[in-house]
Structure 1
Amino acid sequence: MSDQSPQLGEIGHAGDDMVVPFQAEGLDVRGRAVQIGPLLNTILDRHDYPEPVARLLAETVTLTVLLGTSLKFEGKLIVQTQGDGPVDMLVADFTTPDSMRAYARFDEQLLAEAVARGALEPQDLLGKGILAFTIDQGKSMQRYQGIVELNGASLEEIAKAYFRQSEQIPTEVRLAAAQLYAMDEDGGRTHQWRAGGVVVQFLPESPERIRTQDLPGGDVPDEIDDVFEMEEDEDWQEARALMETIADDELVDPQVSSERLLYRLFHERGVRVFDPIPVRDNCSCSRERIKSVLEGFEAEEVAESIEDGKITVKCEFCSKSYEFDPDEVGG
């Protein structure tokens, strides 16, 4: 980040599907903010997910975009949930520098039962399981994976738990998604999905200022929990308090741009924004890639995949289908 970057008010608004990096120098925090519109609609409309599923996937996409655009190397970030609830899997895959894809898997009957009971909170839909963050730097590099339990009331809270347990940098996250409705020229009702998010991290020059409260082990007696309490840095306390003032409506409102929100939050502390990073819907699947996977199948596996004299593979992310003659893959 350059000292020549403009202050808010000196530039225009980035708009939808653009991640806005920022720095509040007075609080020693850096972060990224985003509002997602067309990208999200393309992904969700492609699959026509039920509203509860779409909302969860929208927040997962937002979290992945915020974190993926911070990668300083060529590679990808995969954010994935696996649980025993009606929505048993969410996958969001960001490939540098700007490609995003995502899909959800759910059980229609279990979801209908949950809707009938009014059990629509994330913990109800995801159930017990894990949230995994995987960083893939390519074939020559080892993958890194961090895992946290699905034990929060929202993806936002689960992500905070991950950063608290796995990272050395104090981090705060806000996420929101909403389905907005409008009337078209013919008087019909149209809808549009929007999502937004902000992630902020405490990065003071003096490393001893980074103090976080340790997580007690499960075998520690309740009466000595106060041993783990630690006073946080005052600047980080202020940054966290400001983040808590963000309303869900502000994150998804097209009239409240990322820059406008950041100005409201941090202008008294000298907030500075940097060049926005575009993100787009772009699936990395291809006929060549799928063929190479099929070529690794044993003969029996190839035979089991043949239907009506051909092998058909559908990409879960973009819903594109690829057809192969069995002879193409050694069948």
Structure 2
Amino acid sequence: MTILSQIAWDDTVLPFQLDRSDVRGRIARLDGVLEQVLEQHAYPPVVEALVAEAALLTALIGQAIKLRWKLSLQIRGNGPIRLIATDYFSPSADGEPARIRGYASYDADRLDPEATPFSQIGEGYFAILIDQGEGAPYQGITPLDGGSLSACAETYFAQSEQLPTRFELAYARSVLPGQGEHWRAGGVMLQMMPEMPGVAREGSGEGGLLRHTDILAGEEDENWVRANVLLDTVEDIELIGPSVELTSLLVRLFHEEAPRVYDPQRVEFGCTCSEDRVRDSLAIYSAKDIATMTTDEGLVTADCQFCGAHYRFDPASLGFEATVNPDGTPRDKGEETRPND
């Protein structure tokens, strides 16, 4: 039963709607995806926990927003953990999986292994960026508040979108029979239907920031409170799994709210880095600039922070003054490229 449950629901996001409450939601479980995200770097446990939380939030939020291309989460602070960045790439076609990647930048010497992970970020901001491939990406930013990344995400939706939103997440290192220890995560996202108008009250968060409890009034408020009370009964082991199937968990939590499920979305680890993309990013530099990037071995190197890929280039093939093609053949003058004005 456990094996069948894992096959069916690991690395999956399942959209649903609670018809009685006018609440929509997502329930997700990550296993192999999360392990692949984390195994790219030897993160300390305190950093791993935050990357796991951010990856789970990214899966839930990314699937909830109709995208053509990419949704990104960025958490920046002045503490030992300086940056957490995750990306969600929407499926390229019906039936294809979505892709997730993530990484963290931190100062190992300043980390306190006994402190709560969120406290290691310090003061900073939580940002959601949506890039649909045309025009400037949309960017929404709110201050870090609430004691967890999920609380920051709730504040973002209340403050920037005026949408009451709730997250309940669980993530931990798990040991399954016959397998080694590895990370698993699961979570639920609840959100009022956007056509239900909210009534903003005075924000109860730090500095007057809105939280999901500060929005709505009347019957909508009652529906939202009822759905949240039911979600409060979920246990971490139910979220993480794998013994409880996602559909069974929805029925257990919300059977009184008439839950309706939609097509599940598979998610995989995926990175868009490539040699061509690195070359394109360096095309704006002159030969003099490229020389400053050249190592003693006569190469320009680049590493992908997300997947760990390592690239090595002949400096003569880079920049808008390149003299050779990527394959080492001489470049004709007519092939020279110039940076955009």
Which residue number in structure 1 is paired with residue 242 of structure 2? 254
Aligned with 1:38 (options 9, 12, 32): 32
Secondary structure of 1:255's aligned partner: coil
Change (3 A) 1:120 1:297: same
2:88 is the counterpart of 1:94 = yes
Change (3 A) 1:291 1:32: same
Contact 2:164 2:215 in 1 (8 A): no
For residues 229 and 42 of structure 1, what CA distance do their matches in structure 2 show?
Answer: 40
Change (3 A) 1:316 1:309: same
Q: Which amino acid is 2:66 matched to?
A: K
Aligned-residue offset at 1:275:
0.9
- Alignment of structure 1 residues 153-192 onto 2, 5 Å: 153-181=147-175, 190-192=180-182
Give CA deviations for 1:142-201 in whole Å, capped at 9, x if unaligned.
21111111122111111111111111222111122101135758xxxx311001111111
2:314 is the counterpart of 1:325 = yes
Give the stretch that moved more between structures: 147-156 or 275-284: 147-156
Q: Which amino acid is 2:301 matched to?
A: T
- Alignment of structure 1 residues 239-318 onto 2, 5 Å: 239-307=227-295, 308-318=297-307
Give CA deviations for 1:117-161 in whole Å, capped at 9, x if unaligned.
x21241x211110111000111x3221111111122111111111
Q: Which amino acid is 2:226 matched to?
A: E
Change (3 A) 1:96 1:228: closer
Change (3 A) 1:273 1:179: same
Give CA deviations for 1:273-330 in whole Å, capped at 9, x if unaligned.
1111011111000110100111212333211110110111000000001111011114
Q: Which amino acid is 1:20 matched to?
A: L
Change (3 A) 1:250 1:212: farther
Secondary structure of 1:47's aligned partner: coil
Contact 2:162 2:215 in 1 (8 A): no
2:53 is the counterpart of 1:64 = no
Which residue number in structure 2 is paired with residue 109 of structure 1? 109
Secondary structure of 2:229's aligned partner: helix
Aligned-residue offset at 1:93:
0.5
Identity score, percent: 39
Contact 1:213 1:230 in 2 (8 A): no
Contact 1:179 1:193 in 2 (8 A): yes
Which residue number in structure 2 is paired with residue 127 of structure 1? 122
Which residue number in structure 2 is paired with residue 8 of structure 1? none
Give the stretch that moved more between structures: 66-75 or 170-179: 66-75
Secondary structure of 1:302's aligned partner: helix
Change (3 A) 1:125 1:229: same
Give the stretch that moved more between structures: 78-87 or 169-178: 169-178
Aligned-residue offset at 1:85:
1.2
Contact 1:133 1:146 in 2 (8 A): yes
Instruction: Normalising by structure 1, report the TM-score.
Output: 0.85
Aligned with 1:73 (options 67, 75, 85): 67
Which residue number in structure 2 is paired with residue 9 of structure 1? none
Change (3 A) 1:230 1:21: closer
Aligned-residue offset at 1:229:
9.8
For residues 192 and 215 of structure 2, what CA distance do their matches in structure 1 show?
Answer: 20
Secondary structure of 1:72's aligned partner: coil
For residues 110 and 119 of structure 1, what CA distance do their matches in structure 2 show?
Answer: 11
Contact 1:121 1:153 in 2 (8 A): no
Q: Which amino acid is 1:102 matched to?
A: G
Q: Runs of at least 4 residues of structure 1 off by over 6 A?
A: 216-220
Count the aligned residue pairs.
Answer: 303
For residues 277 and 216 of structure 1, what CA distance do their matches in structure 2 show?
Answer: 35
Aligned-residue offset at 1:13:
8.2
Contact 1:214 1:229 in 2 (8 A): no
Q: Which amino acid is 2:110 matched to?
A: L
Aligned with 1:200 (options 154, 168, 190): 190
Gaps in structure 2 of 5+ consecutive residues: 1-5, 92-97, 209-213, 323-341
Contact 2:75 2:83 in 1 (8 A): yes
